C-alpha cells in the first residue's frame, strides 16, 4: 500500500466524512510547490483556498512563529500582550477605517458572526428594537456556522439546517433595483463579498457598489464587506474595496491574514465601534492569541518589505492575458472574470469542472472549482511568470 493510500484509508476510518478530498495526502511544501506522501510534486494554484498567500516557508515567516513559540502561545483575552497591540494597529491602519477597531477570531465564519452581532447591536442602540433585518446577496458564501450560513445565499448549503437565523433577505448581486426592493425601516445592514468567490468569481460592479454605499449612508445602514477570500492583496490592492473608492462600516477578513495559522478578524469603523459591542457582548478563548498574531504581524511586515501587493498588480496583466488565450483557444471555455490573482474561467456544462481539476491533479497542478462550473485560480501571491506558464500549459492539456 502506498503512503498516500495508507493515510487516506486511516482518515476515512476515523475522520468524519464532510469533505470530498482529492486522493492525495500532502506531506510538505516549499515556495509554490507541494509534495504528497509518495513524493510526487505539484504546482499549487489554490494556496489552501486563498490562504497561503506567501507560499510555503517564505523567508522570515517561520522564524517569527518559532520566536513566539519560545515566548508564549496563549494568554486568554484577560491580558494584554505585544502581538495584539501590534497586529490590531497593522490591520486597522491597512483598512483606512480611521478610528477603527479590530477583533480577532479563529476563522472567517467567526468574523462574520461578529460582524452580524455588531450590526444588530448598533441598530438596537438606535431604536431599542430587536426585529432588524440584514440584506445579503444571492449566490454568496460567508461560512458554515449558523449565523454565517443564514446570510449565505445558496439553498444547497442552507436547506438541511433550517430554520436558520431570521431577519435575512436576499437581493441579486450587482442589481440595484433588487437591493432597493428589499430595504425597509427595519434594515440594519447590507452584507456582500466585494468579489464573490464560491458563487463563481464575480466582482462587484463599481457603479453598483458606490450606489450601495450612498444608500447605506443616506439611511444609516451598515455596509459589511466580506473580504475573507478577496482581501489581503489578492486583487492587487490590500483590500479589494480600495479599487472602488468606498469604505465599509465593517470589514471581515481571514485566510491570508495569517498565511496558514487559523486567524480571522472583523474591523469596525469609528462610528460602529463606538456604538455597538461592549464588554460582555462578544468574546473568544483562542481568538487573537500571541501565536496567531505573531503570524499576522509577520505577514504584514513581509507584505510591506517585499511589496507583495505591487507584485500582484505587476503580474496581473500577464496572468489575465494567459487565461484569455485559453478562452480563445478552447470552445469549452466561455469567458474569464475576476480581479488580480482571483480569477475564474467559466466552462461549458459539457466540460465538467470536476473532470478538469482531477486531470490537472494527475498532471501535477492543484486547482479548484467555484460555483457554476467555474475553474477558480487563487494561487500564492508570490507566483512568477514561469509558474503561470507552467500552470496554464498543464491546464491547456486538460482542456
Q: Where are the domains of the chain?
A: 3-58+307-398, 71-306
- The CA distance from 315 to 179, in Å, is 35
Q: Let me know: does 263 contact 254? Beta carbons within 8 Å.
A: yes
Record the cell numbers describing residue 180, joined without a space. Answer: 432597493
- The CA distance from 228 to 172, in Å, is 20
Give the CA dihedral 66, 69, 74, 77, nearest 10 degrees: -50
- The CA distance from 165 to 152, in Å, is 11
- The CA distance from 238 to 90, in Å, is 12
Split at pLDDT 50, 70, 90, the class of 351 is very high
- On average, the pLDDT of the chain sits at 97
3-state secondary structure of 192: strand
Fold of the CATH domain 71-306? 3.40.640
191-235 tens-digit pLDDT: 999 999 999 999 999 999 999 999 999 999 999 999 999 999 999
Q: Is-cis flag, bond preceding 284, omega within 30?
A: no
| The residue to which cell 486511516 is assigned | 10
Neighbour count for residue 282 (Cβ, 10 Å): 17
Q: Let me know: does 333 contact 346? Beta carbons within 8 Å.
A: yes
Split at pLDDT 50, 70, 90, the class of 96 is very high
Note if the pTM is more than 0.85: yes
- Cβ-count burial 317-346 (b if 16+ within 10 Å, e if not): eebeebbeebeeebebbbebbbbbbbbbbb
Angle between helices 308-329 and 290-306 (to 10 degrees): 80
Strand (E) or helix (H) holding 48: helix 47-50
Split at pLDDT 50, 70, 90, the class of 137 is very high
pLDDT at 11: 97
173-200 tens-digit pLDDT: 999 999 999 999 999 999 999 999 999 9
pLDDT at 64: 98
Q: Let me know: does 183 contact 221? Beta carbons within 8 Å.
A: yes
Provide mean pLDDT across the span 341-369.
98
Fold of the CATH domain 3-58+307-398? 3.90.1150
- The CA distance from 396 to 312, in Å, is 23
Q: Let me know: does 213 contact 204? Beta carbons within 8 Å.
A: no
- The CA distance from 117 to 220, in Å, is 16
pLDDT at 366: 98
Q: Closest Cα to residue 183, out of 175, 171, 174?
A: 171
Split at pLDDT 50, 70, 90, the class of 62 is very high
Amino acid at each position: 500500500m502506498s503512503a498516500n493510500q495508507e493515510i487516506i484509508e486511516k482518515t476515512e476510518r476515523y475522520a468524519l466524512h464532510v469533505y470530498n478530498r482529492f486522493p492525495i495526502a500532502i506531506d510538505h511544501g516549499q515556495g509554490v510547490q507541494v509534495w504528497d506522501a509518495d513524493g510526487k510534486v505539484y504546482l499549487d494554484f489554490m494556496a489552501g483556498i486563498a490562504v497561503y498567500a506567501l507560499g510555503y516557508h517564505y523567508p522570515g515567516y517561520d522564524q517569527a512563529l518559532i520566536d513566539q513559540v519560545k515566548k508564549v502561545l496563549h494568554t486568554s483575552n484577560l491580558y494584554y500582550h505585544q502581538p495584539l497591540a501590534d497586529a490590531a494597529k497593522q490591520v486597522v491602519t491597512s483598512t483606512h477605517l480611521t478610528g477603527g477597531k479590530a477583533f480577532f477570531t479563529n476563522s472567517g465564519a467567526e468574523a462574520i458572526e461578529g460582524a452580524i452581532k455588531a450590526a444588530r447591536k448598533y441598530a438596537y442602540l438606535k431604536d431599542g428594537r430587536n426585529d432588524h433585518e440584514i440584506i445579503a446577496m444571492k449566490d454568496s458564501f460567508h461560512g458554515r456556522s449558523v449565523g454565517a450560513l443564514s446570510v449565505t445565499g445558496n439553498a444547497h448549503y442552507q436547506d438541511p439546517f433550517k430554520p436558520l437565523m431570521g431577519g435575512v433577505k436576499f437581493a441579486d448581486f450587482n442589481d440595484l433595483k433588487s437591493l432597493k426592493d428589499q430595504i425597509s425601516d427595519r434594515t440594519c445592514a447590507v452584507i456582500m463579498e466585494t468579489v464573490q468567490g464560491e458563487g463563481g468569481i464575480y466582482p462587484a460592479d463599481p457603479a453598483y457598489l458606490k450606489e450601495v454605499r450612498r444608500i447605506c449612508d443616506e439611511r444609516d445602514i451598515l455596509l459589511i464587506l466580506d473580504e475573507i477570500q478577496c482581501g489581503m492583496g489578492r486583487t492587487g490592492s490590500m483590500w479589494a474595496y480600495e479599487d472602488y473608492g468606498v469604505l465599509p462600516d465593517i470589514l471581515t477578513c481571514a485566510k491570508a491574514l495569517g498565511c496558514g495559522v487559523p486567524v480571522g478578524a472583523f474591523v469596525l469603523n469609528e462610528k460602529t465601534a463606538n456604538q455597538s459591542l461592549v464588554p460582555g457582548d462578544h468574546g473568544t478563548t483562542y481568538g487573537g492569541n500571541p501565536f496567531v498574531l505573531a503570524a499576522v504581524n509577520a505577514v504584514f511586515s513581509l507584505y510591506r518589505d517585499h511589496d507583495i501587493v505591487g507584485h500582484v498588480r505587476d503580474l496581473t496583466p500577464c496572468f489575465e492575458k494567459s487565461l484569455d488565450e485559453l478562452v480563445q483557444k478552447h470552445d469549452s471555455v466561455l469567458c474569464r472574470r475576476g480581479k488580480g490573482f482571483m480569477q475564474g474561467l467559466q466552462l461549458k456544462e459539457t466540460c465538467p469542472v470536476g473532470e478538469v481539476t482531477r486531470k490537472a491533479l494527475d498532471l501535477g497542478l492543484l486547482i479548484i472549482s467555484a460555483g457554476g462550473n467555474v475553474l477558480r485560480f487563487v494561487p500564492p501571491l508570490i507566483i512568477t511568470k514561469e509558474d503561470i506558464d507552467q500552470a496554464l500549459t498543464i491546464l491547456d492539456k486538460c482542456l
